[in-house]
Amino acid sequence: MTASWSLSKRCWRRQAQKRQPGFLHVALDGFTRYQVLAGLALLHVGILLLFQWQVPDAYMDELFHERQTRAYCQGRFDVWDPKITTPPGLYLLGAALVRSIESVRRLMGVGGIPLCADDGPSLVPYLRPLSAAFNLGSFMLLQAIFYRVQQLSNGEALAQALNLSLYPVIFFFGFLDYTDAASLCAVLGMYYLARRQRHVQAAVVGGASLLLRQTNVIWVCFVLGTSIVEDLQTAFLKRDYYYPTTPLAGHSAKGQLSGTGSTASGTGGLFFAAAGPKPNLPDPSEPLSFSLLLQFGVYLLRSLPSLLRRFWPYVLAILGFAGFLAWNGGRVVLGDAGHHVPTFHVAQFAYFLLLAACVHRPLFLVPGVWEPAEGDKCSAIEGFGRWLRSGAGTGGGLLPGMFVLALAGLVLHRFTLSHPFLLADNRHYVFYLWRRVFQRYPFANLFLTPLYALAGWWLTTRVYQGSGASRRSSSLTVLVVGVAVALVLVPAHLLEPRYFTLPLVMTLLEAPPRSHTSLLLSTVLFVFIDALTVYVFLYRPFLWGDGSVARFMW
């Protein structure tokens, strides 16, 4: 592991040493990741068989995906289903898999209608396992991130990875031919490689992820941004070492190692010589302010050549996406662009804040259950009240704080949008949530604003800005995370649980490890929801208006 990564992860090691093992950690500590993977694989195989027995034909979006895969399998790459809005990556992978299976069938002398033929058998039994395989790959990547990058113990890394793998939306779409599992796996692969300082490989995987989901370009930018901030953090920590007031032992006054001709170098090739005055670097540990942003902007401009030399692979991936936009007439989506027009849906960000807070710590509102920051024993509600009385961080008192909260509520109410698809399809759980809550009570989001604000304050203050060993991310990292999440969710008109998956996972990866209580509670809750949603989907169908069989799903 590089010196720069070791420096930036000291707080993680200190925190890991202080944490006592929880029930899940102890239960899993005796297993290797391959043993847990084998158990998870058996579970996926069993549920895949149930899906095949109960739902043998393509369902909902699988109809379009199967048609597109069959066209590619036949070599008709000029065909595009207008119902599909995402890039062709998943269908190219599916076609390659089906062609490989067809080749094996021929070698074994299996007759019958070719799989790729228009009148051939359904391709769904061959395509759904691909999603399950990507889900298993995501588990392995999550375990590697928690174990190798965050340097948690084996049991804790397995528990954290297994918990996220069982997150209901991730788990459910591992059994359908959707792009979600492949997209998540690709982005996690990019994130892992970037955190291991393998930026060329990370950018290649990130570029490949753009063939699965257009919004993954935001996660490429996210990885680029957090990598730059991390280099700045490490350079700031090294500054006093490489630019000491007095020469260190074994170093000359000019910063060269005594008896050698080499000069101490900085992180990422941004600083090459120790001679001269200390570089004027922004302190990433400072609270977010206009001054810090200005200093960071100056730093970026001054270090632009060095940054480009280090991170050029990500720039190429982003430029490639820009080329796609130019080719597609400036539109992000393919196919049915009329129903996917970018909007300003601020409520999406509020929904995410509440979801992320509940997943990170299901009982974050209950005093004494959540683990407060070091030296601060107040409950989340008490802490939020103090923040509000301080003028929402402005220091102006309660009146400005209430004004900020009221203004946020009005903006949230104004930009709570309802997509035509939302109330036109009662096969989705969100249909019932919207119809029975937000449609029945138009001012629901206005009155829920304090809860959203509390969740946002808690995430920022407790998860990211905790003091002492609990500190994980700088204020600049928090800014990068927030901007990335907003760019993914706010332009989306449709309220769709799948859109929240990657923002949630990436937010949790940038946060300190969840407490043992929260991890155990959320895992039990996830398993219950997984079992319930799979059961309802398979065994509680209903007739739709056109007489077809419909099933409840996310």
Residues 314 and 346 grouped into a single domain: no
284 phi, psi to nearest 5 deg: -70, -10
Q: What is the pLDDT of residue 276?
A: 47
27: in domain: no
Name the DSSP letter for residue 478: H
Q: What is the pLDDT of residue 174?
A: 96
Residues 457 and 378 grouped into a single domain: yes
Would the CA dihedral through 72, 75, 80, 83 be positive or negative? negative
49: in domain: no
Residues 349 and 399 grouped into a single domain: yes
Residues 264 and 370 grouped into a single domain: no
The tens place of each residue's pLDDT in the chain, 554 residues long, gives: 333 333 333 333 334 445 566 667 677 777 889 999 999 999 999 999 999 999 999 999 999 999 999 999 999 999 999 889 999 999 999 999 999 999 998 888 777 788 888 888 999 999 999 999 999 999 999 999 999 998 999 999 999 999 999 999 999 999 999 999 999 999 999 999 999 999 999 999 999 999 999 999 999 999 999 999 888 887 777 665 444 444 444 444 444 433 333 343 444 444 434 444 556 777 777 777 888 888 888 888 988 998 999 999 999 999 999 999 999 988 898 877 777 788 999 999 999 999 999 998 887 776 554 444 444 455 677 777 777 777 666 666 677 778 878 888 889 888 888 888 888 888 999 999 998 998 888 888 888 999 999 898 888 876 665 433 334 567 888 889 999 999 999 999 989 999 999 999 999 998 888 888 889 999 999 999 999 999 999 999 998 877 789 999 99
> Residue 543: beta bridge partners?
549
Q: What is the pLDDT of residue 393?
A: 61
104: in domain: no
Give 330: exposed, middle or buried? Use CB within 10 Å, 0-12, 13-18, 19+: exposed
Residues 367 and 271 grouped into a single domain: no
260: in domain: yes
Q: Half-sphere exposure of 457 toward its Cβ, with a 13 Å CA cutoff? A: 21
Residues 319 and 409 grouped into a single domain: no
Whole-number Å distance between alpha carbons of 489 and 71? 32
Whether the Cβ atoms of residue 335 and residue 294 lie closer than 8 Å to each other: no
Whole-number Å distance between alpha carbons of 519 and 255? 48
Number of continuous H segments (helices) and E segments (strands) in the chain:
22, 2
174: in domain: no
Residues 6+ apart with CB under 8 A from 323: none
Element (H, E) at 549: strand 549-550
Residues 239 and 286 grouped into a single domain: yes
| CA 161 vs CA 8, 21, 143: distances in Å | 22, 16, 5
Q: What domain range includes position 426?
A: 342-514
Would the CA dihedral through 69, 71, 73, 75 be positive or negative? negative
Residues 363 and 288 grouped into a single domain: no
278: in domain: yes
Q: Half-sphere exposure of 226 toward its Cβ, with a 13 Å CA cutoff? A: 29
Number of domains in the chain: 2
Compute how many other C-beta atoms are within 10 angstroms of the C-beta atom of residue 177: 27
Residues 315 and 377 grouped into a single domain: no
247: in domain: yes
Whole-number Å distance between alpha carbons of 462 and 456? 10
Residues 347 and 472 grouped into a single domain: yes
358: in domain: yes
Residues 421 and 306 grouped into a single domain: no
Residues 377 and 430 grouped into a single domain: yes
